[in-house]
Chain A
């Protein structure tokens, strides 16, 4: 049951990110200059006079400019409209925008940016995980298949990368490159750095599996039938590591989401104009009152938690503990649920 909940959380995040332009009520960079740091609008069914309506919101009215305090304007009702203007749900009154998670320092809708940020953060994490898989499987298969000196050198190298604190490596690699890059360049750069840092975890397991599978009868049979080394690896040995690879990749995704957030948080990730969960937290951190007065600015942290929790729940028995003493996989994927 819990596994389904986990899978549902992950699926929800992926669908929301994929359909961001429809799910989000606004454009990610549209500002509401009258609503800086406005709190979330509360969706109501009953108005102040006790009458029932279709879902509606009250607009915010600024009561204290200096402290940015708002009050609901009970005199007008802004009904919510489904599927209007190409959006899933939006306010029918442009003066009273729907702010499900409030607005940020610049008066941008936090919910909208959260959904668009999911695109950036999840896409980067998934791309990096596939990069790590590609590098890791190649290195691991090469090491496990050839053995000897190649194996020794490759495994020492992975030992070295694994023992380093990953975030320091990412930080050092990122910060030596120019600070000002286009979002596309940042994406490619971060994906490359994450792939390199994540690859050893895949490589070690794949090496162990390739090594042990190679001794089995079916591998010997394939070899005796004249299969080339490449065919043996690609058709027989690497597929044997399929389950392990799938679990590893899924475990790397949350780690990469957090890594992006950490780098963007300290100002070495995406530029502020790009919506990502990390840049949103970075924006939030510049405001000293965020914790006490504007907690909705921290919603990217909640989103990250839910996605990571979803992955952990979905993988509950398959890969909670991936490291045995030897770095070999402890468990494969359980079949079925």
Chain B
């Protein structure tokens, strides 16, 4: 068990370092750098050279990478040229915003998707199961890019909810928290709805397989009430395949939140990285990519722990195979 998690941790570390190094290199190799993108064509050769030297862009790619990785080991991630601030100060705030969005969405998707999946998975027919199934199918066909456009459209038409940003310019009546929650509804729902649909389908499939298992029949025969069998025993057994996909869900959460962040102007990691890529702010790009990878690594680790908790066989199997 411990060996298994040690391996997972090592993988996470490799992922974070690999991803941020790769993006740093790629962005460095790309045509144009921050100086040419920001100063334009009018600048003199001397100013350009001066600016490059200031940010360490005049060094060879090898030297630059060496300096960056040496700094990164001391948690110094370099300097954002665009913001004029250390990358280390910029990332946590944006990462926290993305985390708020992603975790809220995941929570809602789970709370909505799993119970509905139990209902549809345990009933063959019926109007309710049919309606849920149809709604799922529709939502599955609306990835976050489309749900966010649709929800922004609804919110703009009705004027019930703010459609962009994370906070109002002035704190309205009701306090900052209420204001934040109101801003959170549209982007979080845009990610949560398709995700809930996916979880519902998975849970339904797992559930319909589990309820045919002999132990369910045996429990029913012993006189345990049907709802108890369904919501305790069968649900627990059916959680296994669902827990297995959470690792992949975390990845889709980040991808989904990118589109949503751009459309609803949510100040998260995705929109920061897009901006950094456009201006060739290389240390910031590497920092964002590293933070994204860290996110993923944490997510997969948590989902692995969850999986091991639901199904003790998993950790043994995985260590064996690895």
Contacts and interface: CB of A to CB of B under 8 A. Distances in A.
Partners in one complex: yes
Given A175-B278, A298-B149, A167 B163 contact: no
A171 B251 contact: no
A171 B146 contact: no
Contact of A262 (B140, B163, B259): B259
Contact of B247 (A163, A165, A175, A254): A163
Contact of A258 (B26, B145, B202, B278): B145
A74 to B, nearest CB: 28
A190 B320 CA distance: 39
A165 B258 contact: yes
A312 B27 CA distance: 37
Interface stretch (A95-103, A112-120, A229-237, A316-324): A316-324
A305 B19 CA distance: 32
A321 B296 contact: no
A66 interface: no
Contact of B142 (A265, A305, A311): A305
Nearest to A173: B26
A312 B255 contact: no
Nearest to B248: A323
A321 B202 CA distance: 7
A330 to B, nearest CB: 8
Contacts of A312: 137, 140-141
Contacts of A176: 26-27, 29-30, 277
A321 B205 contact: yes
Contact of B277 (A163, A167, A172, A265): A172
Nearest to B300: A163
Nearest to A304: B146
**Chain B interface category by residue count:** 35 or more
A277 B240 CA distance: 39
Nearest to B22: A172
A261 interface: yes
A313 interface: yes
B277 A291 contact: no
Interface residues of A, number: 42
A301 B146 contact: yes
Contacts of B15: 160, 163
Interface string B250-272: 01101100110011000000100
Contacts of B274: 171, 266
Contacts of A167: 255, 258-259
A259 to B, nearest CB: 9
Given A292-B157, A295-B153, A298-B149, A165 B23 contact: no
A164 interface: yes
A329 B102 CA distance: 28
B235 interface: no
B119 interface: no
Contacts of B202: 321
B201 A168 contact: no
Contacts of A195: none
Contacts of B248: 162, 323
A325 B310 CA distance: 13
A49 B255 CA distance: 55
Contacts of A298: 149, 153
A144 B68 CA distance: 39
A172 B141 contact: no
Contacts of A285: 263
B277 A171 contact: yes
B289 interface: yes
B181 interface: no
A291 B30 contact: no
B276 to A, nearest CB: 10
A186 interface: no
B195 interface: no
Given A168-B289, A298-B149, A304-B146, A262 B157 contact: no
B233 interface: no
Contacts of A261: 145
B265 to A, nearest CB: 11
B162 interface: no
B152 interface: yes
Interface in B136-194: 137-138, 140-143, 145-146, 149-150, 152-153, 156-157, 163
Contacts of B262: 265-266
A166 interface: yes
B115 interface: no
A129 interface: no
Given A165-B296, A168-B273, A321-B205, A305 B141 contact: yes
Contacts of B247: 163
Nearest to A166: B255
Interface in A256-299: 258, 261-262, 265-267, 281, 285, 291-292, 295, 298
Contacts of B86: none
26 contacts: A164-B293, A165-B254, A168-B273, A171-B258, A171-B273, A172-B27, A172-B277, A178-B31, A265-B263, A266-B262, A266-B274, A291-B153, A291-B157, A291-B163, A295-B153, A298-B149, A298-B153, A301-B145, A301-B146, A301-B149, A305-B146, A309-B137, A316-B137, A320-B140, A321-B201, A323-B245
The 10 closest A-B pairs by CB, nearest first: A291-B156, A176-B30, A309-B141, A165-B254, A325-B244, A308-B141, A167-B255, A175-B277, A165-B255, A176-B26
